[in-house]
Amino acid sequence: MHTHASFFRRPDSSMTPMLSHVTSRLTPIRATLVLAILLIVGSLWMPDFLQSQASNWIIFGLLGVSLVFVWGKAGIFSFGQGAFFGIGGYVYGIASINLVAVTNETVSAVVLATLGAAVAAGLLGYFIFYGKVGDVYVGVVTLASTLVLFTFMSSTASPVYHVGDALLGGYNGMAGIPPLTVGWPGGSPVALTIWQTLAILVALAALVLCVLYTLLARPFGYIVSAIRDNEQRTQLLGYDIRLRKLVVFMIGGAIAGLAGALYAAWGMFISPTVFGLQQAALVVIWVLVGGRASIAGAFFGVVFVEGLSTLLGSGGGNATPVVLGVVLILVVLLLPQGTVPALQSWLRPRTRASSTPVEAPAAEFSGGAVDPLMPPGLSAGSSANSSLRVNGLLKRFGGLTAVHDVSISFAERGVHCLIGPNGAGKSTFFNLLAGRFSPTSGQILFAGRDMTRAEPHTRARAGMGIKLQIASIFPGHSVHENVWLSAYAKLHSRAAAEARATEIIDWLGLGPLRHVLAGELSHGQKQWLEIGMVCATAPGIVLLDEPTAGMTRTETARTAALISSLGRYANVIVVEHDMAFVRQLNVPVTVFHQGSVFASGRLEELQQDERVLNIYLGRHGGQRA
Amino acid sequence: MEHASIGWLLNIGVSMALSIAILALVSLGLAVMFGMMGIINLAHGEFLMCGAYVTLSLTRIDVPLWLAIPLAGLAVGVLGYGVERLLIRFLYGRLADSMLATWGLSLIMAQLTVLAFGPSTQGIPTPLGSLSIDGYSFSRYAFVIIVCAMLLMALVYLMFTRTSYGVMARAAVQNPAMAAAVGINPRKLNALNFAFGAALAGWAGGLLAPMVGVMPSMGEAYIARAFMTVVVGGPGIITGTASASLLLGGIENVVSYLSTPFFGQGALLIVAIIAVRLLPTGISGRWQRQL
Amino acid sequence: MFNLCGKSLVLALALTSLVPAHAQSKDPIVVGSILDETGGLNIYGKAMADSTRLAIEDINKSGGVLGSQLKRVSYDAQSNNANYSRYANELALRDKAVVIMGGVTSASREAIRPVADRNKTLYFYNEQYEGGVCDKNVFNTGVVPSQQLAPLIDYAVKHYGKRLYVLAADYNYGHISADWVKTYATKDGAQVVGTDFIPLDVAEFGSTITKLQDNKPDVVVSLLVGGNHIAFYRQFASAGLGGKMTIVSPTFGLGNEQTVLGAKEAKGILAIYPYFQEVDTPANRKFTALWSSTYGANHGYITDSAVAVWNGWHLWAKAVQKAGTTDRTKVISALESGISIDSPSGTVTMDGSSHHAIQNTYFAQANDSHGFTIVGKQDAVPPAFEKEKCDLIKNPGLHTQFMPGQ
């Protein structure tokens, strides 16, 4: 199957470097508040029907925002926001019908509905994210869930199906839902007028938006966008992405539920069609038209698509779906990022930093009392038991044994190379250490702790730093943000992470490129960046998979120096093909062959060994499977 | 359940086989598009509907049904080729955008059909009548559908393994860069893939037309289930579709019989959810099959 | 270039969506209609929309109402229930319609109802449904189970046998009607040997046909609805069951099933409605001629829903004339005083206390020329259940839908 993962994770270039945005991070919030006030005041002059229409659009807009948050910001493609919308609506209906006589208000019903939807999202999210369901499949599971709800709720026609005084109503829907009402027990209920409803809705929407913008500007927001940008790398840094995705999904569910409750109050009616395929697709369409990653875009998409259908429905009845279909196709072809980002880039053209390739900095790697090469954060004396021991590690794929009963012990500190011909099992062994595969049998002990079946993020937190073969960085974030995210994973302090990030970037020699998007770096620079990110987590053991793949001679030499200096403070295991590089490192080497350890020693000795030469050249002397 | 006679068993068996066959039929075209090109085609139901309408129109001008259905599929294939050239080719690699655009396409196709043929349901009488075994009546056409489902899967298999188009298509999926490097024209291949998927949908529609009502919105009833079957099935076009249809269609039929079709539908959805959870890469993903 | 095109397109369309669609003029009386003219439900909605246009033209041609012409504002809900709330709001608040007529499914009625109530706009629901709605602001001209199912089950038991199997669409209408069938069957000494509820999007009836063959009833009562369910009749016929059991149905024909099915597949199915196109009365001859001249001789079969809509508009117009004003309260009083019109189906009277229509019903069997042959008639059938439960003159505050057994 294709790596459909990449289809959902296009870099979002709207994340700008952090340091320079202390003030401008307030702008979306300020803009929201200003717009909200303008709308509330301005709507006093709007005719009734427009106020009611605007209320409807704001409600749908909130539903769209919930999808923008979970999909555009966090990369979770939920095809089932309608499910939480509907749950919110039905819970509001049930709660308000039963409570309004007693409490004279329906605000509590709105709160209950929001909570109900959040709980539902929590349950479904737990099922999905802790079950490692990914990408398209999340879409399918969420779609199936909303359709199940549709099927179920459509069949509750009989009066048997009721909660207190509220009849579920089946396909006909729940009738008799009270509108938004304020009051208190013992007082008298006051149903809000059309304008008052609009004002409250605008205020609520503004509140939700401000909360979201604030969240997104905090470390939580950066981590969430990192998950969207490169989920695997986020996990390898030690973040528990399952938990974060669950939280995001619950927030999205709560917002959708809130919208649903308000919808039921606005129409005084809710029916199972909110759970149907058409509604599910509509949410996606609003968001895509408005701009997948744009919160403001959700409102625009709603107004545009719904406004267009309303207009068409009252005019050329026959042509409505055709026109809507044509418009959708045009939007996809002409405005692929969605309308709001297109408008934004039209009004404020962004200057993209030109990708000037950086030559290897002139820094001399001389020795000295204070080691200028010391990777920041790692101290020479750090004890951190960083031994790695592997006992009888075995990995079978069906009939093929890739790693055959390997037992090695890697000493406390220093660099160690793993080499071997293609198919020798080095990569599989590496992936077993990294936690990307789980072994058929055997044991992995890191610093004395059993890490055999630990999740990748657990290994990272325990001090294992992992750099995969293909540069796995956050292409949509700046160099600084990349390293900051890595440092924050360990330090949990924004300021400390800032400081550490600056140090490491300087150490790497990438200072001038601090604010460049990582996706625009040259290949070699990306590899260094990733090494730097691994260092930022102050690991006790570092696993590097072909770090010099695709590098030039000069870059390779520099990488050797970086790794050597790293080796003074951590246990570095490097899988490599490039013999020149291995020679530069001048460290102990282990040769793999057909899944087992074949030989180990220093490179010069091994290069004289007939047996080793045989396996590399595929000669008769070497055993064949 | 009253008598466990041969006729009754046969009736249950045929009914189940029919459910499975129909699910496989409507999912096959979508599986080709998704498996070969990574496109989610939300207009798949409308291609099916087109096949039904072409079949209907051909029978109205007295083309025999057994000829009308293959012709209908070919016609829809040509339509698919055109759609690919005009729209889909801009959308590769853009999964979400392909959904949006094909949803728009489905709206257009459905409404154009209404404008051309009117909104009400039309029909083709079911041919071949019925046969009676042990007191139970069986529609002969049900057997036709079951056999045709298997034939179409065999056709897909042959296309992808015995024709040069098929071999190239599979190569291009496994390694697009390499395929282009050895001279395979990816654009033409994509168009053929899409056309083939559309033709399969058209054949499904044509085959179903004599059994169900032909109406512009008939596609809607199938798209969600086809989508789920394809995803549960996984990347293997034939193995995936067959296994997912067996699982989902079989369970739906059994539960429908034991209780009501409502629970049957619910069961299908719930099983789909569980299947995706347990086998995140689909059933055939486990077996690592491409076909 | 593309980008610029795209941006101007967006701006243009965004701006136009803010322009109100209809300008108001002072003299004509604004009336509103919301129906599903596109989407899956338009197999019912289109004929109803056609009838709306025809009825209003007809009223206008006879001089309009209170000397003013009627201005029709119609919305196409596109088979999307969410649109009903929206358009109802628009009709009430922006277009300021004095009456809203609309809704195809009961779900759409329930979406319109609270909006019409809140904005104090009169509302007519003109379509067959499961019965029981009791709301001062709502009038129903569609046929209800006590007018349809009671005589149908009577007829079936008398002519075909005492073992009934019920197949119902799996939503409110189906469930409630199935309950009614059981009630009426018991009254007639017959037995319901099985009931199956089929979801609306199911078109595959294999397991159902198996169960029918297991149970061998005399009569199959079909409460199936929608385009997908037509497949049942076809699959039933192709399994050769037509000779073994008779299908009776209060819904067959509403979606033009008899024109879709082959002649042999439909033959013999018994239906009951207040109106069939084949009804032979002077009023109907005039009506069908009018329909043909407006919509062409090749028009689709005129369904009972279309005539229910016609009845709604004419009853309202007559009530307004009687009340002398379009003021809602006065029109309601006029309607409650008992208005009758000469409808294509015969005399139709609005029953004041229950807000439902007293009308004739015809029995007909599908014939082999894609039409119906009328085999029986009942005059002035009252909506018995609604009359029993719902007296809006005595209890104007009633606001509910009664179910069987309540």
Least CB-CB distance to B94: which of A7, A145, A321? Answer: A7
pLDDT tens sequence across B11-29: 888 888 988 999 999 999 9
Set of chain C residues whose Cβ sits within 8 Å of the Cβ of A321 = 38-39, 78
φ, ψ of residue C176 in degrees (nearest 5): -70, -45
Of B123, B217, B253, the CB nearest to C39: B217
pLDDT at A568: 80
Average pLDDT over residues C243-256: 89
B172 vs B166: CA distance, rounded Å: 10
Instruction: Name which of A464-468, A574-578, B120-124, B162-166 the model is least confident about.
Output: B120-124
Smallest Cα distance from B22 to chain A, Å: 20
What is the separation of C-alpha C18 from the centre of its chain, rounded to a whole number of angstroms? Answer: 34
A602 or C397: whose pLDDT is higher?
C397
User: Would the pLDDT of A624 be above 80?
Assistant: no
How far C199 CA sits from the closest chain B CA (Å)? 6
Q: Which of C201, C240, C260 sits opposite B132 (nearest CB)?
A: C240
User: Which structure tokens are listed for C16?
Assistant: 């136009």
A354, pLDDT greater than 50: no
Span A521-549, average pLDDT: 86
Going A297 to A300 to A304 to A305, the CA torsion angle's sign is positive
* Three-state DSSP state, C55: helix
Q: Test C197 with B262 for CB contact under 8 angstroms.
A: yes
A443 — contact with chain C (CB < 8 Å)? Answer: no
Q: Which helix (H) or strand (E) element contains residue C314?
A: helix C304-323
Q: Residue A348 has what pLDDT?
A: 66
Could you tell me the pLDDT band of residue C374, with boundaries at 50, 70 and 90? very high
Largest CA distance in chain A: 96
Q: Which helix (H) or strand (E) holds A464?
A: strand A464-467
Query: In angstroms, what separates the C-alpha of A78 from chain C's closest C-alpha?
Result: 21
Secondary structure (DSSP) of C132-147: -EEETTEEE-S--HHH
Bigger pLDDT: B186 or A52? A52
CA dihedral over A179, C122, C283, C131, signed as positive or negative: positive
d(CA C34, CA C102): 5
Among C262, C266, C290, smallest CA distance to C364 is for: C266
Residue C277 to residue C310: CA distance in whole angstroms = 14
Please list, in sequence order, all residues whose beta carbon lies within 8 angstroms of the beta carbon of residue B202, skipping any fewer than 6 positions away.
Answer: B29, B47, B48, B50, B51, B54, B72, B73, B74, B75, B76, B77, B79
Q: What does residue A175 show for φ and ψ, rounded to 5 degrees? A: -100, 165
CATH 3.30.420.40 given to domain A388-617: no
Q: Please tell me which of the candidates B128, B211, B261 has its beta carbon nearest to residue C199.
A: B261
Cβ <8 Å between B231 and A140: yes
Least confident of A309-323, B137-151, B223-237: A309-323
Cβ C154 vs Cβ C108: under 8 Å? no
Q: What is the mean pLDDT of residues C379-405?
A: 90
Across the interface, which of B101, B223, B277 has its CB nearest the CB of A133?
A: B277
CB A75 within 8 A of CB A228: yes
Q: pTM surpassing 0.90?
A: no
Instruction: Give the per-residue pLDDT at A349.
Output: 60
The verdict on a CB contact (< 8 Å) between A140 and B262 is no
Rounded CA separation A148/A127 (Å): 16
A171-212 pLDDT per residue, tens:
888 988 999 888 888 778 888 888 889 999 999 999 999 999
Among B138, B213, B256, the residue with its CB nearest the CB of C207 is B256
pLDDT of residue C145: 93
> Distance (Å) from the C-alpha of residue B163 to the closest C-alpha of chain C?
35
pLDDT band at B73 (very low <50, low <70, confident <90, very high): very high
Beta bridge partners of C400: C134
Who's near C311: CB < 8 A, 6+ residues apart? Answer: C126, C141, C341, C343, C345, C348, C357, C359
Q: Is some CB atom of chain C closer than 8 A to the CB atom of A53?
A: yes
- Kindly report, residue by residue over B154-213, the tens digit of the pLDDT: 999 888 888 888 888 887 777 777 877 887 787 888 888 899 999 999 999 999 988 887
Interval A302-329 mean pLDDT: 80
Instruction: Kindly tell me if the per-residue pLDDT of C227 is higher than 80.
Output: no
pLDDT at A156: 79
Return the partners of chain C (3 or more C-beta pairs < 8 Å).
Answer: A, B
Task: Count the helix, strand and coil residues of chain A and give each as a percent rounded to the nearest 5.
Answer: 55, 10, 30
**In a 3-state reduction of DSSP, which class is residue A414?**
strand
Q: Cβ of C10 and A268 within 8 Å? A: no
CA distance A252 to A231: 19
pLDDT of residue C273: 95
Mean pLDDT over the full length of chain A: 81
Q: What is the percent of chain A where pLDDT is above 90?
A: 22
C238–B126 C-beta distance less than 8 A: yes
Q: Is A169 in contact with C110 (Cβ distance < 8 A)?
A: yes
Separation CA B81–CA B188 (nearest Å)? 10
Query: Do the beta carbons of residue A157 and residue A171 sit within 8 Å?
Result: yes
CB contact under 8 A, B141 and C300: no
**In which band, very low, low, confident or very high, does the pLDDT at A419 lie, cut at 50, 70 and 90?**
confident
Q: CB distance C172–A172 less than 8 Å?
A: yes
Supply B142's token pair.
Answer: 């049900």
Above 80 in pLDDT, residue A29?
A: yes
Read off φ and ψ for residue A291, nearest 5 degrees: 120, 115
pLDDT confidence of C237, banded at 50, 70, 90?
confident
Q: What is the mean pLDDT of residues A385-402?
A: 81
CA distance C178 to chain A (A): 11
A376: left (phi over 0), alpha (psi -120 to 50) or beta: beta
Query: Which of C196, C206, C209 is facing B253, going by the closest CB pair?
Result: C206
pLDDT digits over C300-358, tens only? Answer: 889 999 999 999 999 999 999 999 999 999 999 999 998 999 999 999 999 999 999 99
- Band of the pLDDT at C373, cuts 50, 70, 90? very high
How far is C121 from C327, CA to CA, in rounded Å?
10
Q: Determine how many CB atoms are found less than 10 A away from the CB of residue A124.
A: 24
Please identify among residues 335-364 of chain A the ones whose CB lies closer than 8 Å to any CB of chain C. 335, 339, 342-343, 346
| Residues A460-475 pLDDT 10s | 888 888 888 777 889 9
Condensed to tens digits (0 to 9), the pLDDT of residues A94-152 reads 999 998 888 888 899 999 999 999 999 999 999 888 876 666 678 878 888 898 898 88
Chain A positions touching C131 (Cβ under 8 A) are none
- What span, in angstroms and rounded, lies between the C-alpha atoms of C181 and C152? 9
Closest Cα partner for A233 from A474, A511, A567, A563? A474
Cross-chain Cβ contact A50/C94 below 8 Å: yes
The more confidently predicted of residues A14 and B38 is B38
The domain locations on chain A are: 29-277, 388-617
Q: Which helix (H) or strand (E) holds C86?
A: helix C81-89
Q: Which amino acid is present at A365?
A: F
Long-range Cβ pairs for the range A189-192 (8 Å, 24+): A189/A100, A189/A104, A189/A105
Angle at A88 between CA B280 and CA A281, to 5 degrees: 50
Put simply, the answer to whether A321 touches C18 (Cβ < 8 Å) is: no
Please tell me which residue, A340 or C287, carries the higher pLDDT value.
Answer: C287
For residues B96 and B93, give the distance between their C-alpha atoms in angstroms, rounded to a whole number: 9
Residue A575 burial (CB count, 10 A)? 21
Q: Which of the four pLDDT bands, split at 50, 70 and 90, describes residue A367? A: very low
User: What is the interface pTM, i.e. ipTM, of the complex?
Assistant: 0.83
What's the pLDDT score for residue B78? 96
| pLDDT of C140 strictly over 60 | yes
Lowest mean pLDDT among B48-52, C167-171, C281-285: C167-171
Per-residue model confidence (pLDDT) at position A315: 62
Interface-testing mutation among B6, B23, B65, B120, with chain C (most C C-beta atoms within 10 A): B120
Interface-testing mutation among C78, C80, C167, C210, with chain B (most B C-beta atoms within 10 A): C210
pLDDT for residue A359? 45
In chain C the domains, ranked by start, together with CATH numbers, are 29-143+279-355+390-401 (3.40.50.2300), 146-273 (3.40.50.2300)
Residue A344 region, left (φ>0) first, then alpha (ψ -120 to 50), else beta?
A: alpha
pLDDT of residue A189: 81
DSSP C396: T
pLDDT at residue B89 in the model: 87
